[in-house]
Amino acid sequence: MDLLIPIGIVTVSDRASRGEYEDLSGPAIAAALNDYLIGGWRPLARVIPDEQAVIEETLKELCDVEGCCLILTTGGTGPAKRDVTPDATAAVCDRVLDGFGEQMRAVSLRYVPTAILSRQIAGTRGRTLIINLPGKPGSIRECLDAVFPAVPDCIVLLEGPRLELKLLR
């Protein structure tokens, strides 16, 4: 029996899914999780294209089949026509948690004025918390640092497992 808590890491990128460049964003999420969490978890990583149906199916599979308590996506959150990650997330969620997106945009605006263009959202599906992150590794860390302290409590409120945090900066 696997005692490690599954956490989904989904990179949404046409080019990375075709192997045209190395996915650096998914590994950046995993590195942040290693810094935040005291063991007891395992990544379920996916690299998929910017296709709403594919994103929705991937999120459903990680929630409903794999039993992830947390899914972190990266990429596809801007205003471009192919940026549909927030749309797919909203489509599969029971509830949207506006505070996550608001906080991530507020933090990102300290670094780049174009952060206002981000459409990042977070929401719940059953016992799973899904959070959309930007596509740049540095921005991923800035956003996660801002919201991650609330993640374990949210998961417990969803009747999921307790994630044990190291002291965050």
Whole-prediction pTM value?
0.96
User: SS3 letters for 78-144?
Assistant: CCCCCCCHHHHHHHHCCEECHHHHHHHHHHHHCCCHHHHHCCCCEEEECCEEEEEECCCHHHHHHHH
Domain for residue 164, yes or no? no
In a domain, 165, yes or no: no
Count of CB atoms within 10 A of residue 87's CB?
A: 14
Given this model, what pLDDT does residue 3 score? 81
Strands 5-12 and 70-74: parallel
pLDDT at residue 39 in the model: 79
Within a domain: 16: yes
Q: Is residue 123 part of a domain?
A: yes
Could you report how far apart the first and last alpha carbons of the chain are, in Å? Answer: 34
| Mode of pairing for the β-strands spanning 70-74 and 128-133 | parallel
Q: With respect to residue 166, please indicate whether it lies within any of the assigned structural domains.
A: no
Residue 102 lies inside a defined structural domain of this protein: yes
Decide if 163 is inside a domain: no
- pLDDT (tens digit, 0 to 9) for every residue of the chain, 169 residues total? 468 999 999 999 999 999 999 999 999 999 999 999 997 999 999 999 999 999 999 999 999 999 999 999 999 999 999 999 999 999 999 999 999 999 999 999 999 999 999 999 999 999 999 999 999 999 999 999 999 999 999 999 999 999 989 865 5
Q: Which domain covers residue 27, as residue numbers? A: 5-157
Q: Is residue 162 part of a domain?
A: no
Residue 18 confidence (pLDDT): 95
Place of tokens 């935040």: 36
Q: Identify which of 168, 96, 102, 166 has the alpha carbon closest to the alpha carbon of residue 130.
A: 96
Number of domains in the chain: 1
Separation of alpha carbons 129 and 141, rounded Å: 18
Q: What is the pLDDT of residue 163?
A: 94
Rounded CA-CA distance 41/21 in Å is: 27
> What CATH number does residue 76 fall under?
3.40.980.10
Q: For residue 11, what pLDDT is reported?
A: 98
